[in-house]
Amino acid sequence: MIIEKLVSEKKQVEVPVFTIQHKMDNKTPKDFHSHRGYEMVWVRSGEAQFIFEEKVFHLKKGHVLLFNSSELHKVRLPDKQTYDRVMLMFHDDLFSYEQPIFQEFKRLLDQQPTPHFFLQIEERGYENFYHIIRQLLQEDMSPDKWQHQHALILYVSELLLFFSRAIHTSMDHIFHISNSNPVRTQERILKEINSLWNTNWQLEDLAEKLHFNKYYLCHFFKKEFGVTIHQYILQRRMYEAKKLLVETSMPIAEIAFRIGFSTASNFIRCFKKYQHETPKQYRNQA
């Protein structure tokens, strides 16, 4: 249930203050993207690969991933598999006051090596988690909306308390899924690309550093991540540009140079094509 809708500037994507959905379709955004707030995914059946800037999580049945969704990310699904999951998203505006549990949750998540928390939900011992999710889903579907927002705040606070205790007391539950060779290879490639995305990089040099044939590297990246290396770097540049436009007063020309464009005009043309408005318009509206 959407309490309020804030429209982001990229392709008019709606950013809900809170939403929860039980979904079984295979529809996911094609590109790397980001949005304000936090996101939780509980996989009930099937598999999904969550790709971040330098981290890859291969989620299966019973896995829960909680993350700061302002980080650039993408979901990649295996072909022709049912992807049954509960997705929950919220951001700061859900709380009309400074909620102590929410503040502590943010602090604990920020202390992690990366802004992600992984949990293996087992059949026993997680009745509290199931109960909270059930309450949120029932509240979302209930026709009686009396005190609806207060109920959501109460149940989300319960969920944040659950995760905060898990992060604080059960560090063994934090599981970075990097055990398999394919995931290690994916992360190694992402790490190398994220060290040069804002430079005048060359595919041949990248392939040499990674000890890959350049044609195989391109094929592997597209197969694993669903976009080309060039597309990923462009999406990363636009992501960084939008942050600089909103968070700083840096001149457009300096932003262009900072994110790897040779001229401001090239940056403005590319940004307008990607964002459907100029950097100056984006900054003024944001």
d(CA 140, CA 23): 14
pLDDT of residue 280: 95
pLDDT over 50 at 109, yes or no: yes
CA-CA-CA-CA dihedral for 165, 166, 169, 173, to nearest 10: -170
Rounded to 10°, the helix 229-247/264-275 angle is 100
pLDDT of residue 10: 41
Q: Please, which pLDDT band fits residue 96 given cuts at 50, 70 and 90?
A: confident
Q: Is 29 helix (H, G, I), strand (E, B) or coil?
A: coil
pLDDT of residue 80: 77
The domain segmentation of the chain, as residue ranges, is 5-173, 181-285
pLDDT of residue 57: 95
> How high is the mean pLDDT of the chain?
89
Give the DSSP H/E element, type plus range, for residue 117.
Answer: strand 116-120
Q: Candidates 3.90.1170.30, 1.10.10.60, 3.40.50.300, 1.10.3720.10; correct CATH number of 181-285?
A: 1.10.10.60
In Å, how far are 31, 108, 239, 258 from 279, measured between CA atoms? 20, 34, 12, 14
Q: Give the residue among 179, 187, 186 at the shortest CA–CA distance from 223.
A: 186
Q: By the 8 A CB rule, do 258 and 250 touch?
A: yes
pLDDT over 60 at 156, yes or no: yes
For the segment 91-105, the average pLDDT, to the nearest whole number, is 91
Tens of pLDDT, residues 31-55: 999 999 999 999 999 999 999 998 9
d(CA 14, CA 4): 10
pLDDT over 80 at 174, yes or no: no
For the segment 252-264, the average pLDDT, to the nearest whole number, is 96
Which residue is associated with the tokens 């969704």? 69
Tens of pLDDT, residues 195-235: 999 999 999 999 999 999 999 999 999 999 999 999 999 99
Joined together, the tokens standing for residue 144 give 């009686």
Percent of the chain with pLDDT over 90: 76
Percent of the chain with pLDDT over 70: 90
Q: By the 8 A CB rule, do 122 and 176 touch?
A: no
pLDDT of residue 178: 44
Report DSSP state, residue 231: H
Q: Determine the topology of domain 5-173 in CATH.
A: Jelly Rolls (2.60.120)
pLDDT of residue 170: 59
Number of other residues whose CB lies within 10 A of the CB of residue 173: 14
